[in-house]
């Protein structure tokens, strides 16, 4: 009976085009963005949708730090942070993260998902009678944490500061409140109005919790994120980030006041009852962050190449979804089945790896490709991508625009 119930749900996913197939992709160290397909005679493809936004996963200093940590401390941490897992590198990493975000303290979690889920769950329970205000497009990890906390919640329309103000104004000033939002929304590539959100939050006596997962390493002074770029870090009470994207490895974190971080460290079950990250990961993350703090090269190249890619796509008649003002360039397909078929053609005919982004990651009818260039992509690869998408769109009769209509976008 149990198998049949689950089979039925899997079948429903297949029928709706939402069933997920993993592409086995062996990235080639030292040749980013190239990868090989072991199921297709190791043929080579160019990766166009990696969250390794700056190629730091293959950076020589990061790899060297990881090797060094394995040789010095061994492969695993050996326990939770509280029971033997707090090796020396943690202290250095958490100090580096706090310094990055100009906060008193930071706390590292095994993943970015876990850091949102566990922190929000814990914080919202710790603050008596707290109401949380959450952007409608917040990530699943944020939604999970908020739901698990079980308290009162209000969802404000995406990036709608006036709606947030109305919701905040409907509660007494002294009631505890937390406003949770992201700086860059990764499915649309748009930015939050951070300055306006923190202003209204402070007016109504709310704490602010900002997920900078898709900004750290790439925006702001020393790559500290969008709040730092806008000069409002002091108005953000809790910065949350990941070390799995621009930093290139894995792990999540929060940065805040010493008291708040100490409270999460001491009360948060999702932090306490899990094994600490291995030394190689912590050492590699530390090396990557220290590199990104003091080198502009990767950031500059990312933004230059993003401009080149936008321009090339526009010349090929490929429209980037209009909200995007960042390194994330979403291209609408609008149908789950078509998106999959187009991805297969891109891979098999053109050697381009673009994962289809289907529901539930995005609403049904807004299925898309989410393209991002990295410092490692060449101009030739950028031009090849544009012509490959153009050919694929023509093949499936998907709409292409006139270049003249898209020029304003770049």
Ligand X SMILES: Cc1ncc(COP(=O)(O)O)c(C=O)c1O
Residues with a known catalytic role: 245
Distance CA 403, CA 390 (A): 12
Q: How far is the CB of 242 from ligand X (least distance, A)?
A: 3
| Closest CB to ligand X among residues 57, 116 | 116
Question: Do the Cβ atoms of 121 and 209 come closer than 8 Å?
Answer: no
* Angle at which helices 258-267 and 112-126 cross, to 10°: 100
| Closest CB to ligand X among residues 264, 388 | 264
Distance CA 161, CA 96 (A): 32
Residue sitting closest to ligand X (CB): 112
| Closest CB to ligand X among residues 200, 247 | 247
Q: How far is the CB of 12 from ligand X (least distance, A)?
A: 25
Question: Do the Cβ atoms of 241 and 249 come closer than 8 Å?
Answer: no
| Closest CB to ligand X among residues 155, 338 | 155
Give alpha helix (H) positions in 295-357: 297-315, 336-350
Q: How far is the CB of 285 from ligand X (least distance, A)?
A: 11
| Closest CB to ligand X among residues 81, 370 | 370
- In this structure, is the dihedral angle defined by the CA atoms of residues 341, 316, 398 and 10, taken in order, positive or negative? positive
- Residues shown for the chain: 410
Q: How far is the CB of 282 from ligand X (least distance, A)?
A: 15
Distance CA 153, CA 160 (A): 16
Distance CA 101, CA 247 (A): 15
Q: How far is the CB of 113 from ligand X (least distance, A)?
A: 4
Positions in the binding site for ligand X (CB under 6 A): 111-113, 116, 139, 141, 182, 186, 211, 213, 242, 244, 252
Among residues 363, 360, 355, 314, the alpha carbon closest in space to that of 334 is found at 363
């Amino acid at each position: 009976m149990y198998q049949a119930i689950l089979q039925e749900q899997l079948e429903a996913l297949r029928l709706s085009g939402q069933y997920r197939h993993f592409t086995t992709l062996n990235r080639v160290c030292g040749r980013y963005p190239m990868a090989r397909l072991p199921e297709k005679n190791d043929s080579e493809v160019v990766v166009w949708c990696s969250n390794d936004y700056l190629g730091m996963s293959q950076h020589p200093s990061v790899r060297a730090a990881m090797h060094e940590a394995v040789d010095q401390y061994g492969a695993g941490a050996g326990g939770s942070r509280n029971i033997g897992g707090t090796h020396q590198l943690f202290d250095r990493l958490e100090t580096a993260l706090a310094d990055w975000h100009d906060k008193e303290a930071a706390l590292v979690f095994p993943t970015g998902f876990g850091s949102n889920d566990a922190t929000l769950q814990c914080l919202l329970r710790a603050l008596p009678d707290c109401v949380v205000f959450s952007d409608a497009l917040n990530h699943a990890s944020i939604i999970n944490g908020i739901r698990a906390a079980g308290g009162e919640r209000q969802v404000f329309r995406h990036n709608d500061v006036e709606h947030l103000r109305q919701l905040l104004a409907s509660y007494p000033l002294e009631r505890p409140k937390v406003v949770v939002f992201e700086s860059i929304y990764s499915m649309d590539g748009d930015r939050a109005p951070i300055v306006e959100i923190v202003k209204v939050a402070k007016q109504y006596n709310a704490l602010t919790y900002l997920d900078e997962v898709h900004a750290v390493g790439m925006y702001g002074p020393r790559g500290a994120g969008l709040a730092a770029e806008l000069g409002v870090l002091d108005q953000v009470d809790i910065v949350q980030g990941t070390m799995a994207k621009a930093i290139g490895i894995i792990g999540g974190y929060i940065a805040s006041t010493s008291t708040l971080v100490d409270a999460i460290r001491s009360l948060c079950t999702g932090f306490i009852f899990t094994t600490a990250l291995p030394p190689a990961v912590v050492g590699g993350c530390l090396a990557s962050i220290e590199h990104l703090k003091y080198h502009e090269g990767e950031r500059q190249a990312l933004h230059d190449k993003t401009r080149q890619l936008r321009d090339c796509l526009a010349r090929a008649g490929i429209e980037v979804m209009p909200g995007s003002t960042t390194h994330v360039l979403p291209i609408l397909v609008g149908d789950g089945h078509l998106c999959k078929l187009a991805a297969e053609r891109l891979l098999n005919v053109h050697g381009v790896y673009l994962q289809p982004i289907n529901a539930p990651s995005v609403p049904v009818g807004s299925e898309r490709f989410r393209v991002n260039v990295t410092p490692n992509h060449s101009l030739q690869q950028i031009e090849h991508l544009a012509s490959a998408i153009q050919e694929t769109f023509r093949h499936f009769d998907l709409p292409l625009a006139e270049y003249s209509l898209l020029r304003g976008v770049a």
